């Protein structure tokens, strides 16, 4: 994490500027860069030939036309897995706005139209090259925020995704906490392994998937630098759900930063409007950062 004032709050472009352009496309990343997000997120899943692909799911069906191009490549469960396709095959797919796999309808119907796109998948290396290139041409220092997706699934398939990703990050100059890279993972055993066994010196964020109190925070603080809870996990139960619980304060006592997910202008349950949610997250409970599909709105809010 590059040095910022302790009071500075970071804005992470969640899957890019994904509120405007289909998630994890290079177009959504360049838009997020132009909007001056502090970090741009990459969810990572390996291809058959071990290339880290920037995609949220281990499946392809929600965001690509895989079913029409490769109808015979699904597994017994009817799903198309990224890990069954080579990088060259993945490059032939078109990427669309996210759909619900069962209903085939857009998850966010007011976002980018479903049928008007010729977007493509890409690798971690390709995305880093675009972000580093834009940093050079614009004079900015926008960071990356990669996430190791489902390491145990990769292990079952005979692959060590963390090792592969760490080598690429190192090759591109991301090695120390002061570098503009934060590595995240939901799997606590894997993130601890990344720090202790794989000797990673990057700033690490332990994502929290399920509601939990502060009982594991000390453990997380022994290897991670931040936690990443959902907004829901920060709400005090039974208080009309707009009051915060003590998780952020307890994390801060242990010197852990807190980067919460996901701030969405078009989805803010429990809060009347997006501004109320931003006020709650960034000021009432004092988050250090947040993942958002709408980086421009959050940046403007923080400026004001």
Please, where are the H alpha helices in the chain? 26-34, 66-69, 87-90, 124-138, 151-156, 161-171, 188-196, 217-221, 247-253, 274-278, 295-303
Q: Which does 228 bind (CB under 5 to 8 A by kind): Ca ion, ligand G3P, none?
A: ligand G3P
Taking CB under 6 A as the rule, does residue 38 contact ligand G3P?
no
Taking CB under 5 A as the rule, does residue 27 contact Ca ion?
no
CB-CB contact of 224 with 204 (8 Å): yes
Taking CB under 6 A as the rule, does residue 301 contact ligand G3P?
no
Q: Which does 262 bind (CB under 5 to 8 A by kind): ligand G3P, Ca ion, none?
A: ligand G3P
# residues contacting ligand G3P (CB under 6 A): 11
Q: Which does 261 bind (CB under 5 to 8 A by kind): Ca ion, ligand G3P, none?
A: ligand G3P
Contact flags string 164-193 toward ligand G3P, x per CB under 6 A: --------------------x---------
d(C-alpha 233, C-alpha 225), whole Å: 19
Taking CB under 5 A as the rule, does residue 43 contact Ca ion?
yes
Question: Measured from the CB of residue 133, what is the shortest distance to Ca ion in angstroms?
Answer: 23
CB closer to Ca ion out of 191 and 275 = 191
Q: Which of 25, 16, 18 is nearest to 120 (CA)?
A: 25
Taking CB under 6 A as the rule, does residue 225 contact ligand G3P?
no
CB-CB neighbours of 93 under 10 Å: 20
Taking CB under 6 A as the rule, does residue 264 contact ligand G3P?
no
Taking CB under 5 A as the rule, does residue 296 contact Ca ion?
no
Q: Which does 207 bind (CB under 5 to 8 A by kind): Ca ion, ligand G3P, none?
A: ligand G3P
Q: Chain centroid to CA 150: how far?
A: 13
* Marked catalytic residue, from 14, 24, 122, 154: 14
Binder among 38, 97, 127, 147 for Ca ion (CB under 5 A): 147
Task: Give catalytic status of residue 56 as yes or no.
Answer: yes
Q: Which residues bind ligand G3P (CB under 6 A)?
A: 14, 41, 43, 56, 147, 184, 207, 228, 261-262, 291
Write out the catalytic residue numbers. Answer: 14, 56
Q: Which residues bind Ca ion (CB under 5 A)?
A: 43, 147
């Amino acid at each position: 994490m590059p040095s910022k004032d302790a009071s500075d709050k970071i804005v992470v472009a969640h899957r890019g500027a994904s509120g405007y352009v289909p998630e994890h496309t290079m177009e959504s990343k360049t838009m997020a860069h132009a909007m001056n997000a502090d970090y741009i997120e990459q969810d990572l899943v390996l291809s058959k030939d071990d290339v880290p692909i920037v995609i949220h799911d281990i499946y392809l069906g929600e965001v690509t036309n895989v079913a029409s191009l490769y109808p015979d490549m699904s597994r017994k469960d009817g799903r198309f897995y990224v890990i069954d396709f080579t990088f060259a095959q993945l490059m032939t797919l078109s990427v669309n706005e996210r759909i619900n796999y069962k209903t085939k309808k857009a998850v966010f119907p007011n976002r980018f139209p479903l049928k008007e796109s010729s977007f493509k998948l890409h690798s971690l290396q390709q995305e880093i090259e675009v972000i580093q290139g834009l940093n050079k041409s614009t004079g900015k220092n926008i960071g990356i925020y990669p996430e190791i997706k489902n390491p145990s699934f990769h292990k079952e398939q005979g692959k060590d995704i963390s090792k592969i990703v760490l080598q690429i990050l190192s090759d591109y100059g991301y090695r120390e906490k002061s570098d503009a890279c934060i590595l995240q993972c939901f799997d606590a055993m894997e993130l601890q392994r990344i720090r202790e066994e794989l000797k990673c010196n990057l700033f690490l964020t332990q994502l929290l998937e399920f509601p939990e109190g502060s009982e594991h925070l000390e453990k997380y603080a022994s290897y991670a630098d931040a936690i990443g809870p959902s907004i829901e996990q920060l709400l005090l139960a039974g208080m009309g759900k707009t009051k915060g619980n003590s998780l952020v304060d307890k994390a801060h006592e242990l010197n852990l930063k807190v980067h919460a997910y996901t701030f969405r202008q078009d989805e803010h349950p429990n809060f009347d409007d997006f501004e109320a949610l931003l006020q709650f997250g960034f000021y009432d409970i004092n988050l250090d950062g947040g993942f958002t599909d709408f980086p421009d709105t959050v940046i403007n809010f923080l400026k004001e």
